[in-house]
A = this chain, B = another copy of it.
Amino acid sequence: MRVACSQCNLRELCLAVGLDEGDLHKLDDLVTKRKLKRGQQLYRAGDPFEAMYAIRTGFFKTDILTEEGLEQVTGFQMAGEIIGMDGISNDRHVCNATALEDSEVCVMPYDQLEELSRKIQTLQQQFHKLMSREIVRDQSLMILLGSMRAEKRIAAFLLNLSQRMRMRGYSASEFHLRMTREEIGSYLGLKLETVSRAFSKFHDEGLIGVQQKYIRILNADGLKALLNHSTP
């Protein structure tokens, strides 16, 4: 299955940023598509690292099994985002990637990508920026986990999702959560009950509307205000 980066409406979020026509076609040549049903895994921890994946449609989570056998979610990814970079360091993936809804990804074989990025400077730069962005993203999450209280974490989580929806042209004020309360909690270092309670509290305060997984942001400024509040 072939797919054309040159035709893709997500190329501004993806590795293809800034490439000219000719280079786009070279990138096209190494990309194939793959479809996943909800619940299917794109790769598992321990799998040999062969490719990176650009999400075309759908929604993913990445997670790690801790020593004690507990699952910890390390990220939620949506269309236009790249996953799999964790595998480069040891030639094996360290986390699992699971589709949270029916999804489609572009498969980019890593050795070919490396080769092409030696030839195309713009691609090389974009690749490095993507990896660096992942580092910065992880560090923001560290700050969130290390210094924020439960409600702040959840407010930050909702605002982050909202902003990423907007960047993709979806509504920033209402959307379906693709993950469970437990997965949110795992991501934010909280228990599912705490997540549920915070949702209920925000609901009572008129900040958001909650109907199961359907969320409406009713007062974005109110949520942002929670972030600026000091520690209490």
Binding site for B on A (CB under 8 A): 64, 66-68, 70, 72, 74, 85-90, 94-95, 114, 117-119, 121, 124-125, 128-136, 138-139, 141-143, 145-147, 186-189, 227-228, 230-231
Contact = CB atoms under 8 A, between A and B. Distances in A.
Contact of A135 (B85, B119, B231): B85
Nearest to A130: B89
A132 B89 contact: yes
B189 A70 contact: no
Contacts of A90: 136
A133 B68 contact: no
Given A86-B132, A227-B67, A141 B143 contact: no
A42 B125 CA distance: 24
Contacts of A147: 66, 70, 72, 186, 189
A28 to B, nearest CB: 21
> What is the copy number of this chain in the assembly?
2
A139 B227 contact: no
A230 B138 contact: no
Contacts of A68: 228, 230-231
A94 B139 contact: yes
**Sorted from nearest, which 4 A-B pairs have the closest CB atoms?**
A146-B189, A88-B132, A138-B138, A89-B132
Given A68-B228, A114-B125, A146-B188, 11 more contacts: A66-B143, A66-B147, A72-B142, A85-B132, A86-B132, A88-B132, A114-B124, A117-B118, A118-B118, A145-B145, A146-B186
Contacts of A70: 147
11 contacts: A68-B230, A88-B132, A89-B130, A89-B136, A94-B139, A117-B118, A131-B131, A145-B146, A145-B189, A146-B186, A146-B189
Contacts of A74: 139, 142-143
B188 A86 contact: no
A146 B114 contact: no
Contacts of A145: 142, 145-146, 189
